[in-house]
C-alpha cells in the first residue's frame, strides 16, 4: 500500500477539493491543486487492481463472489450494431422464403425483379 500512497493522495485531493466540495483553494490557487492532484491512467489502474485484489480477498471466501475489472458496456455500440445486422439478415431470409429473392437496387435508384 505504501507504493500507492502518492496516487491515493492525488485521488483524495481530486475527490475532496474538486468533486465532492468546491474548496476555496481551488478558486484561489488552481495551479497548486492541479499539481498536487496529478495522476496517470497507469496509477489509477494500479489502484483499481489493488482494490480488486482486496475486495476479492474478502468476497470470494465469504460469499463465493468475484468481481471483474473488465469495463461493462464499453463496446455496447458494437453489440447493438450486431443485433441490428442479425435482425436484418433474419428479415431478409423471412422475406425470401415467402416471396423469393429480394429485389436488387439499380444505380439509378430503381429496382429490378431479378
Q: How far apart are CA 11 and CA 36, in angstroms?
A: 10
Q: Point out which residues pair with 111 in neighbouring strands.
A: 105
pLDDT of amino acid 7:
85
Domain ranges, ordered by start, for the chain: 2-63, 70-100
* Each residue's pLDDT expressed in tens, for the chain with a length of 114 residues: 677 888 888 888 877 776 666 767 777 777 887 888 888 888 888 888 888 888 888 887 778 777 776 666 666 777 778 888 999 999 999 999 999 998 876 666 565 655
Amino acid at each position: 500500500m505504501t507504493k500507492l500512497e502518492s496516487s491515493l493522495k492525488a485521488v483524495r485531493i481530486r475527490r475532496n477539493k474538486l468533486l465532492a466540495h468546491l474548496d476555496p483553494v481551488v478558486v484561489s490557487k488552481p495551479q497548486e491543486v492541479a499539481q498536487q492532484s496529478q495522476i496517470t491512467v497507469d496509477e489509477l489502474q494500479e489502484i483499481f487492481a489493488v482494490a480488486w485484489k482486496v475486495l476479492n480477498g474478502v468476497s470470494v471466501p465469504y460469499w463465493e463472489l468475484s468481481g471483474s475489472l473488465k469495463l461493462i458496456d464499453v463496446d455496447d455500440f458494437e453489440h447493438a450494431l450486431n443485433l441490428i445486422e442479425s435482425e436484418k439478415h433474419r428479415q431478409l431470409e423471412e422475406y425470401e422464403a415467402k416471396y423469393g429473392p429480394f429485389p436488387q437496387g439499380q444505380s439509378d435508384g430503381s429496382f429490378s425483379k431479378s
